[in-house]
Structure 1
């Protein structure tokens, strides 16, 4: 099973490199929009360990940029800092879901791109926990993210929240028994496990869905972004109609 995942992962990275052989994100500062992403990425939505960044969300916004004559420049920032910079207008765009952000009204939001579903993950030997009420568990989550279904349980002390910087660390903490459960996007977790030499898919159990929210792009309110928002939404609608969006998603599944 691990070998099959590794073959799929390698094939997708080759596709990324082919698709990005001509840099899609211009570094020309003349007429560019700056896109903020985490250095570690969030594969398969954001992949940063290739020659040029790629992934579902980056391929989508790159397609929009190519079709509308816009240029994009990527900068790497940690999650919380990128939100502060977006609010200040020091970057223009960030892939995000409204529901994950404190005070989402600070930003403009594009139409939904795809759904992102977070699930509970357990160690295989503790699979029984998925069938019990969510109570008295240590749960690892990604720092800077909000989980609408779980927030009341964290606030009331029903669950103990452990903030972790990225999904890779989150899965390894779970693997070593430092937490009892983890919450993350299933596709992201599977992708991370594919490329990890010391964990495998059969060591975990993917439990019930926690939240499913629309993944989209947040735009700064500190700069004029209305025209870009309109162009993005129009082109995104066209991509859904003509199959280009599905074609992008198929590259990573």
Structure 2
């Protein structure tokens, strides 16, 4: 009996010492420099570094849930995740009421991309009827009227990297990419083969959404992100992956 009580005390002490778990969502469509997933878990990337820094700043243990991008909003509504990062207010049809926005963390530019030497149209309204490389589940506000009118057709890929690879081999003439991913993709190519920016389509400020629940250190996380922004830590993380 005494041994059982001792084991129970040790187990309780160990449990109390365990830091709380914070569940981060990871979109399957992310590729480097945002995130590289191996064996079902993230191992490197800008967003991985950001999430690790958030966990350290608030003393929690990060738990990563990899899922299809189209399932992210439902996971928020079902309470399956605590933090969703790399998100814009423009991307959500309905914001789950139990989530709180962080300060803006990353400034993103979505650009129209062509192959090396492409001297064709540089504005969406000038493009001939064609399929254009896009990423499954992403919303492209500037191009939506052209998709709706049938002027352009989406050709979705599961990741940004795959969309750019298809452009490189000539699957289509144009694609849409965020500037960070394009820079990362191009740095592996000879100068004469690099994909080129034809136009800036839109710019967005991206942040994180944190579940507002007593079990989650919501305010501590939001304050930590403010400190990380003001100290330049966020900028340094972005800078490591080619952002400015």
TM-score by shorter chain over 0.5: yes
- Cα distance in 1 for partners of 2:56, 2:186 equals 33
Distance 1:225 1:214, change over 3 A: farther
- Cα distance in 1 for partners of 2:166, 2:106 equals 28
Structure 2 residue aligned with 1:169: 162
Cα shift readout 1:183-224 (whole Å, capped 9, x = no counterpart): 0112112323445xxx6563322121111111212345xx61
Structure 2 residue aligned with 1:183: 176
Structure 1 residue aligned with 2:239: 250
Q: Which has the larger radius of gyration?
A: 2
Unaligned runs of 5+ in 2: 1-16
Structure 1 residue aligned with 2:31: 42
Of 205, 217, 228, the match for 2:208: 217
- Cα distance in 2 for partners of 1:98, 1:104 equals 12
TM-score, structure 1 normalization: 0.74
Structure 2 residue aligned with 1:101: 91
Cα shift readout 1:90-111 (whole Å, capped 9, x = no counterpart): 1222223225634141363322
Native 8 Å contact 1:97 1:213 kept in 2: no
- Cα distance in 1 for partners of 2:201, 2:238 equals 22
Unaligned runs of 5+ in 1: 1-27
Cα shift readout 1:12-68 (whole Å, capped 9, x = no counterpart): xxxxxxxxxxxxxxxx99721111213564322223359962322232232222122
Cα shift readout 1:71-117 (whole Å, capped 9, x = no counterpart): 21112222113332222111222223225634141363322111111
Distance 1:164 1:32, change over 3 A: same
The CA deviation at 1:154 is 1.1
Structure 2 SS opposite 1:140: strand
Distance 1:251 1:33, change over 3 A: same
Q: More strand by proportion, 1 or 2?
A: 2
Q: More helix by proportion, 1 or 2?
A: 1
Native 8 Å contact 1:40 1:48 kept in 2: no
Structure 2 SS opposite 1:210: strand
- Cα distance in 1 for partners of 2:182, 2:190 equals 11
Structure 2 SS opposite 1:178: coil
Distance 1:38 1:29, change over 3 A: farther
**Number of aligned residue pairs:** 221
- Cα distance in 1 for partners of 2:229, 2:172 equals 39
**Structure 1 segments of 4 or more deviating over 4 A?**
49-52
Distance 1:39 1:98, change over 3 A: closer
TM-score, structure 2 normalization: 0.77
Structure 2 residue aligned with 1:130: 122
